[in-house]
Structure 1
Amino acid sequence: MTFNDNARINPGKVSRRGRNTGIAVGGGGSLLVIGLIIASQVLGVDLTGLVGGGTTGGGGQEQGQPLSECTTGEAANNSINCRIAAAADSLDTYWESELPTLGQTYRTTNVVLFSGQTNTGCGGATSATGPFYCPADERIYVDTAFYDDLRSRFGSSGGPLAEMYVIAHEWGHHIQNSTGIMEGLDRQTTGPSSDSVRLELQADCFAGAWVGAASTIKNDDGVVFLDPVTEAQIADALSAASAVGDDRIQQSTQGQVTPESWTHGSSEKRQQWFMTGLNGGPGACNTFEVATP
């Protein structure tokens, strides 16, 4: 997707941190598990061993620096950091108006860009963790080097919408957390119909809902953030969703597919629910009401 060059962007939802060499690993309990399970499946590496031991992860978080250079759509079209800032501004605007129509109250979130490693409310995170949402501090964490891996390691076609899909998916997790959808779920079980998979597919659906409305969302000046999405851009987003499907990751890392261990859903289902949201909006995203999501 392409931002309107003349659109004014509020970059206040995104901050940037430098390299932190004194991270605290561990703590966060089940909250850390959410992010690490997500990362483990995306990267094909078991990171859940970070849970337990070490110091608690909630303290000592470094302050991020604002992205003061990211104030226009033109900047967003030329810089990945600014593109994330602009996407966050659009996502915040969208959910602030959309959630009340669904009978919910919106609570905002923030995106932290980091390089190498950082502290979070869920414990320590490194670039190997991949993008994740931390319920403990209600923030999204992204090392943008992940986008290179998405193309080179996981085979996504890349592109701006593929990058923004990742942010929109994690924002979807914030919607789930802040509205109580995460409460009472059994995130210990796995498999195509598990609560973990339903949670991830719903986040994909929420991401699609934002994309479907994106070209109508206006900034505080009444100017639309984004130009209409093209079929090629949707294909890029679907490529990213497919690239991080459980079956595709397992096939590439293990040489076989074991559906009983899935936590995110198949490539086909991730694409399907993204399109469900794009065409039907967030009201069509109740993955917990269908027998097989």
Structure 2
Amino acid sequence: MEWRGRRGSRNIEDRRGMGGGGRGAGIGGAGVIVVLLLGWFLGVDVTPLLQGQPGGSAVAPTEMTAEDRAMGEFVSVTLADTEEVWAALFRTQLGREYRPATLVLFKGYTQSGCGGASEATGPFYCPADRKVYLDTGFFTVLEERLGAGGDFAAAYVVAHEIGHHVQNELGILGETTRLRQQVGEVESNEISVRVELMADCLAGVWAHEAAARFGSIERGDIEEAMNAAAQIGDDTLQREAGRRPMPDSFTHGSSEQRMRWFLAGQNSGQIENCDTFAAARL
């Protein structure tokens, strides 16, 4: 992905130099990964486990490395691309105005409008404050532990979370949140899977338009995104955590589903093709 020297977004809130979290004590490296994976696919904040004490958090200032700065620039450029793409697509496909999200960069731990944000929660979008929260250390885990390296794999993660913002702009998140509160756990998980697969599809729509608009997507980039989608499927993460995949517990979709819905958006470039709630088969 060609991103260096290109325009960055003004909607970045960088909290990485403010402190707010050290890494966990008392759990070995492999144990930390298992805890992280459990947190990601169960949708729970396992920060207390990583920090070794209930509700504890360190607040030491965080040193910014050259890698941190480069990753911040990369995320800023990717976010700017999503802003331009979605502003155009909202006009041409929906006849309405797109209001961009803010993306918060942090290291270790910070507060969001939806509660605590930590390396254990993974990247997420908070509809309460319309912000994406991202600890760029997730990209390191994605590459080194999950085998999903590459800059476009990281761009896919950003585009997926912005996909949730698009859903929020369209009123989908509010409606699905209301529905999930009225049903049991299995039905709630099914709704969650449809929400997440739609965000994957919207990330694909962004990739389609970004290729045409910026010419920034290179050979192999789509394969990187597909690999990332595969590596963070619920079934794959459950196996990584030493558990047998249990579809009723899925909240994001299987690896196959995540790849297929990303391609549905990437091949068509049409928002209407991402309606997972109208799909008979996920």
TM-score after normalising by structure 2: 0.78
2:154 is the alignment partner of 1:163 = yes
2:105 is the alignment partner of 1:107 = no
- Consecutive unaligned residues in structure 2, runs of 5 or more: 22-35, 48-53, 56-66
Answer yes or no: is the 8 Å Cα contact 2:13–2:104 preserved in 1: yes
Number of residue equivalences: 243
Match of 2:33 in 1: none
**1:167 and 1:228, CA in 2 relative to 1: closer, same or farther beyond 3 A?**
closer
Select the residue among 189, 193, 197 that pairs with 2:193: 197
The CA deviation string for residues 27-67 of structure 1, in whole angstroms up to 9 with x for no partner, is xxxxxxxxxxxx876734662589xxx99xxxxxxxxxxxx
Match of 2:136 in 1: 144
Q: Provide the C-alpha distance between the structure 1 equivalents of 2:87 and 2:76, rounded to a whole number of angstroms.
A: 16
AA partner of residue 230 (structure 2): S
Select the residue among 100, 107, 112 that pairs with 1:120: 112
Q: Provide the C-alpha distance between the structure 1 equivalents of 2:192 and 2:37, rounded to a whole number of angstroms.
A: 13
- Consecutive unaligned residues in structure 1, runs of 5 or more: 23-38, 56-75, 218-223
Answer yes or no: is the 8 Å Cα contact 1:99–1:105 preserved in 2: yes
Q: Provide the C-alpha distance between the structure 1 equivalents of 2:202 and 2:209, rounded to a whole number of angstroms.
A: 11
For residues 54-93 of structure 1, the aligned pairs below 5 Å read 79-93=70-84
Match of 2:248 in 1: 260
The CA deviation string for residues 54-107 of structure 1, in whole angstroms up to 9 with x for no partner, is 99xxxxxxxxxxxxxxxxxxxx9x922111100111100111110122244311
AA partner of residue 265 (structure 2): G
Give the CA RMSD over aligned residues. 2.8
**1:6 and 1:121, CA in 2 relative to 1: closer, same or farther beyond 3 A?**
closer
**1:247 and 1:273, CA in 2 relative to 1: closer, same or farther beyond 3 A?**
same
SS in structure 2 of the partner of residue 119 of structure 1: strand
Q: Following TM superposition, by how much is the alpha carbon of 1:181 offset from its aligned partner in structure 2, in angstroms?
A: 1.1
Q: Provide the C-alpha distance between the structure 2 equivalents of 1:124 and 1:193, rounded to a whole number of angstroms.
A: 22
SS in structure 2 of the partner of residue 113 of structure 1: strand
Q: Provide the C-alpha distance between the structure 1 equivalents of 2:274 and 2:38, rounded to a whole number of angstroms.
A: 22
AA partner of residue 248 (structure 1): T
Q: Provide the C-alpha distance between the structure 2 equivalents of 1:46 and 1:216, rounded to a whole number of angstroms.
A: 35
Select the residue among 252, 261, 265 that pairs with 1:277: 265
Q: Following TM superposition, by how much is the alpha carbon of 1:212 offset from its aligned partner in structure 2, in angstroms?
A: 0.9
Match of 2:9 in 1: 11
Select the residue among 224, 233, 237 that pairs with 1:245: 233
SS in structure 2 of the partner of residue 79 of structure 1: helix
Higher helix share: 2
Q: Provide the C-alpha distance between the structure 1 equivalents of 2:164 and 2:77, rounded to a whole number of angstroms.
A: 19
Structure 1's consecutive aligned runs of 4 or more residues displaced over 4 angstroms after TM superposition are 39-42
Q: Following TM superposition, by how much is the alpha carbon of 1:254 offset from its aligned partner in structure 2, in angstroms?
A: 3.3
SS in structure 2 of the partner of residue 142 of structure 1: strand
Q: Provide the C-alpha distance between the structure 2 equivalents of 1:238 and 1:40, rounded to a whole number of angstroms.
A: 19
Match of 2:63 in 1: none
Q: Provide the C-alpha distance between the structure 2 equivalents of 1:267 and 1:42, rounded to a whole number of angstroms.
A: 18
Q: Following TM superposition, by how much is the alpha carbon of 1:21 offset from its aligned partner in structure 2, in angstroms?
A: 3.9
SS in structure 2 of the partner of residue 227 of structure 1: coil
AA partner of residue 157 (structure 2): V
Answer yes or no: is the 8 Å Cα contact 1:201–1:273 preserved in 2: yes
2:210 is the alignment partner of 1:214 = yes
Q: Provide the C-alpha distance between the structure 2 equivalents of 1:89 and 1:204, rounded to a whole number of angstroms.
A: 19
Identity %: 38
SS in structure 1 of the partner of residue 88 of structure 2: helix
Q: Provide the C-alpha distance between the structure 2 equivalents of 1:21 and 1:123, rounded to a whole number of angstroms.
A: 14
